[in-house]
Amino acid sequence: MERFHENEIEIPEGCSVSIENRILTVKGPKGEIIRDVKNKLLKDDIKDNKVILYAAKASKNHKKIIATFTAHLRNLLKGVTEGHVYKLKICAGHFPMTVTVKGDKFEIKNFIGESKPRILIIKDGATVKVDGRDITVTGINKETVSQVAADIELLTRRPNFDRRIFQDGIYITDKDGKKIGK
């Protein structure tokens, strides 16, 4: 049985969306993001200030693909209008660690008394700010911002240690507006 399925995403004021050769370009007040939507099952169109993603034969797989690209497009539109923000917290109970950002390098000194600093190269498109015990990662591309936040958290990860007892490290507290934990 053939069924037609579509999702419509309204383009916010101040944004423009264009699709050429299955490459989606989203422009807004904060910047521009280019996304590849090359999927044979998915068709796309722009009409009446709305982006329409649809499939002629809507099986479960087609619906899942349409829902995935709809979520990606909403994230792109939110990124170019508002931006994405991830927040992290520095927890140093035993050894006072020093966290700094120098250009595109994120550096942690004296983590658990280590003499060698731990360094992370920050990806293009993400901005990291350190304010006391709080770290803020911002940018317009959600994938880049979330990956940088995850890389910072992994920089202080210690396998085979119980996190409830050995709490030193850097942990994500907010994921783009969603509180984690209590």
Query: Per residue of the chain (182 residues), what is the pLDDT tens digit?
Result: 457 777 788 888 888 888 888 788 899 999 999 988 777 666 777 788 888 777 777 778 878 888 888 888 899 999 999 999 999 999 887 788 899 999 899 999 988 888 899 999 999 999 999 999 999 999 999 999 999 999 999 998 888 877 777 778 888 999 987 777 65
Query: What whole-number distance in Å separates Cα of residue 84 and Cα of residue 118?
Result: 26
Give 151: exposed, middle or buried? Use CB within 10 Å, 0-12, 13-18, 19+.
middle
The residue type found at 40 is K
- Whether this prediction's pTM lies above 0.75 is answered by yes
Choose the CATH number for 5-81 among 3.40.50.300, 3.40.470.10, 3.90.930.12, 3.40.190.180.
3.90.930.12
Query: What whole-number distance in Å separates Cα of residue 76 and Cα of residue 31?
Result: 10
* Domain layout of the chain by residue ranges: 5-81, 84-179
pLDDT at 40: 67
Q: What is the fold of 84-179?
A: Outer Surface Protein A; domain 3 (3.90.930)
pLDDT at 1: 46
84-179 and 5-81 share a CATH fold: yes
pLDDT at 80: 93
Q: Which two tokens stand for residue 6?
A: 């579509």
Query: What whole-number distance in Å separates Cα of residue 140 and Cα of residue 126?
Result: 8
